Amino acid sequence: RPMLATSADELPRGDDWLYEVKWDGYRALGYVRAGEATLLSRNGNDLTQRFPTVARALAQAVRSPECVVDGEVCALDESGRPSFSAMQQGKPGTPLVYELLDVLEIDGETVVDRPLTERRELLAQLLDTRISAVQLSGAFDDGEALFTAAVEQRLEGVMAKRPDSRYSVGRRTRDWLKVKTHGEQEFVI
């Protein structure tokens, strides 16, 4: 099960945090075994048939026959921005991208106890960047600038992660904090 973030009311500041966009899609663990990829939801439901293009792209994108990655399957709107409403509408042909957040296993070897910064480096080396449907989610040092950009782009929020944190499988932890850009959900009446 994926590592879970704790909600925070405000953005933590300082050098001891890395910041990423909070993607608004389906959290999925990607299992690659003998070159075949399976996607599982947080609750262990199989999402492979729901997102077959993403599963195929993942199998092509990783340079390891045996690995486990953690990410978010996002639908892109007309301007190429991740959009949950595009995901909900699910129109045929809606482009999907798998934004990778972390890696748990490479070549059958677990890496969950290594620091986040090291796991991100391993993940960058693991990925073939020519496969555009699978991307390493960007990490930034300037959380406030990212938060401002997330508000302007109407993205869901920002994740703050401790660079030295290990991956706690299935647990909620203070090492990963999510800060939403808007407190209220907007409803169309």
Instruction: Tell me which residues are annotated as active site.
Output: 22
- Rounded Cα gap, residues 104 and 112, in angstroms: 5
Q: How far is residue 118 from each of residues 25, 51, 113, 130, measured CA to CA in Å? A: 25, 29, 10, 22
Alpha-carbon span 44 to 83, nearest angstrom: 24
Residue indicated by tokens 């999907």:
96
Torsion angles phi and psi, residue 19, rounded to 5: -120, 140
- Stretch (H or E) spanning 52: helix 52-61
Question: Is beta strand 172-180 parallel, antiparallel or unpaired with respect to 26-33?
Answer: unpaired
Q: H or E segment at 85?
A: helix 84-89
Strand 157-161 relative to strand 26-33: parallel, antiparallel, unpaired? Answer: unpaired
Q: What's the CA gap between 71 and 26, in Å, rounded?
A: 8
Bridge partners (DSSP) listed for residue 109: 106
